[in-house]
């Protein structure tokens, strides 16, 4: 069992290492190609747009077959093949099409791997965060390494580095055994989706990720405008994820103290505070350090709580449940977040853009309150 846990951890490490290369540095790469802020927002939004459809489609296939890790392997390999042409194509329309195609497969693997992980854990679900934290460590390692590397290496090397990391994701997926889990098919899933608590959870996931749009799209560029070096920017990104790692390490203790719905609400409350601080005090380093530490709540606490709630709310459709979580949050929420951030960035101040993000988080906090009450009532 210990060997299996390390294999599961390795996949998370490599997958989030790719995010550590993509999220902080892709906007810098696009800026180096002379794309406008609006075009950068649109191109980054493609990574989220395909996530609206792809996870649910592949989740349906996985639920029908029961072979979730096989889907992970296939989609991981196809994502490598689809990303390959980006080594040569750097025009707006060609990049838009290739990123949509690549992300259609890349976005499919993680939700199904979550099902595999939770399936292997069985009754030890509280150990999920201890495995998932290796993804955060992979993100930190990549951000720090590339932050130092791009001080002297041109940013144009980023696509080649990403291709290498995507290949590692596929190789790590080959080491994980299948956890066969045949789900009930048919229309029963709609009976689950239309429950008020499920609708509230999906809306909460949408709003919190939409609130992250300016951060994921323009944080690096914003810090550069404030005269931070790329290495310093990498350290700031890694600080946020380090805080997330610490949260994951202790999350199973927190879940024993209070239910997941309570922590979902706290995560949205702290996320609202995070974007307000970003809007009005991002020119002060000590505040930026606090902002990055709050990533423990806005991603770590939120994600761990949401994963547990989806697992509980979709007992017979867990593949599609995790896919819906990905579609509403990182898909629809991420796409809307990147699009409004790209639209606003050159038209208003960064303060206004992050204030809009705080509004999204505040609305999500209200829906999270509904989830918390409903989840608590269910367990009574």
- Looking up residue 171, the CATH number of its domain turns out to be 1.20.1250.20
Give the model's pLDDT for residue 193.
82
Q: Is the dihedral of CA 251, 116, 312, 365 positive or negative?
A: positive
Q: What is the DSSP letter of 126?
A: G
Give the model's pLDDT for residue 126.
62
Least confident of 31-45, 265-279, 309-323, 326-340: 309-323
Higher local confidence (pLDDT), 177 or 63: 177
Query: Does residue 100 register a pLDDT over 80?
Result: yes
Query: Does residue 105 register a pLDDT over 70?
Result: yes
Query: Does residue 30 register a pLDDT over 70?
Result: yes
Count of domains observed in the chain:
1
Task: State what percent of residues in the chain have pLDDT above 70.
Answer: 93
Q: What is the pLDDT of residues 267-320, one digit of tens each?
A: 999 999 999 999 999 889 999 999 999 999 998 899 889 988 888 888 777 667
Question: Quick one: pLDDT band at residue 380, thresholds 50, 70, 90?
Answer: very low
Indicate the average pLDDT of the chain: 86
Give the model's pLDDT for residue 179.
67
What's the maximum distance between 2 C-alpha atoms anywhere in the chain? 58
Structure tokens at 34: 């002379």
Structure tokens at 365: 């906090």
Give the model's pLDDT for residue 323.
77
Contact 218, 347 (CB under 8 A): no
Query: Does residue 52 register a pLDDT over 90?
Result: no
Query: Does residue 98 register a pLDDT over 80?
Result: yes
Give the model's pLDDT for residue 375.
62
Q: What is the pLDDT of residues 125-161, one digit of tens each?
A: 667 777 888 888 898 889 888 888 888 889 899 999 9
Domain boundaries, position 212: 2-379
Give the model's pLDDT for residue 318.
67
Burial of 156 (0-12, 13-18, 19+ CB in 10 A): exposed
Higher local confidence (pLDDT), 188 or 198: 198
Burial of 150 (0-12, 13-18, 19+ CB in 10 A): buried
* Averaged pLDDT for residues 21-37: 87
pTM of the model: 0.76
Give the model's pLDDT for residue 322.
75
Query: Does residue 379 register a pLDDT over 80?
Result: no
Query: Does residue 80 register a pLDDT over 70?
Result: yes
Give the model's pLDDT for residue 353.
95
Q: Residues with Cβ < 8 Å from 55, sequence gap 6 or more?
A: 107, 108, 111, 322, 323, 324, 326, 327, 331
CA 200 – CA 36 distance, rounded (Å):
36
């Amino acid at each position: 069992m210990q060997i299996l846990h390390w294999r599961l951890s390795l996949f998370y490490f490599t997958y989030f290492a790719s995010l550590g290369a993509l999220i902080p540095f892709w906007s810098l790469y696009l800026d180096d190609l002379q794309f406008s802020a609006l075009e950068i927002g649109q191109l980054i939004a493609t990574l989220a747009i395909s996530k609206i459809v792809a996870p649910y489609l592949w989740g349906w296939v996985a639920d029908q077959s029961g072979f979730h890790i096989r889907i992970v392997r296939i989609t991981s390999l196809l994502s490598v093949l689809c990303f390959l042409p980006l080594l040569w194509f750097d025009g707006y329309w060609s990049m838009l099409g290739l990123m949509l195609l690549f992300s259609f497969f890349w976005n499919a693997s993680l939700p199904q791997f979550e099902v595999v992980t939770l399936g292997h854990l069985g009754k030890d679900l509280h150990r999920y965060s201890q495995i998932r934290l290796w993804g955060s460590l992979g993100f930190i390692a990549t951000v720090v390494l590339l932050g130092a590397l791009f001080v002297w290496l041109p940013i144009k090397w980023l696509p080649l580095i990403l291709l290498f990391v995507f290949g590692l994701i596929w190789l790590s997926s080959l080491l994980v055994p299948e956890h066969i889990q045949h789900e009930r098919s048919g229309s029963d899933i709609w009976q689950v989706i239309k429950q008020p608590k499920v609708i509230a959870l999906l809306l909460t996931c949408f709003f919190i990720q939409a609130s992250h749009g300016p951060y994921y799209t323009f944080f690096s560029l914003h810090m550069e405008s404030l005269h931070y070096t790329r290495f310093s920017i990498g350290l700031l990104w890694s600080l946020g994820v380090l805080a997330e790692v610490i949260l994951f390490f202790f999350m199973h203790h927190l879940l024993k103290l209070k239910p997941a719905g309570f922590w979902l609400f706290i995560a949205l409350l702290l996320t609202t505070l995070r974007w307000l601080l970003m809007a009005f005090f991002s020119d002060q380093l000590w505040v930026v350090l606090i902002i990055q530490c709050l990533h423990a709540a806005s991603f770590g606490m939120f994600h761990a709580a949401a994963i547990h709630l989806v697992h509980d709310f979709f007992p017979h459709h867990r593949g599609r449940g995790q896919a819906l979580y990905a579609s509403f949050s990182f898909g629809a929420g991420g796409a809307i977040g990147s699009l409004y951030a790209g639209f606003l960035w050159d038209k208003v101040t960064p303060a206004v853009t992050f204030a809009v993000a705080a509004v999204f988080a505040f609305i999500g906090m209200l829906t999270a309150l509904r989830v918390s009450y409903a989840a608590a009532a269910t367990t009574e």
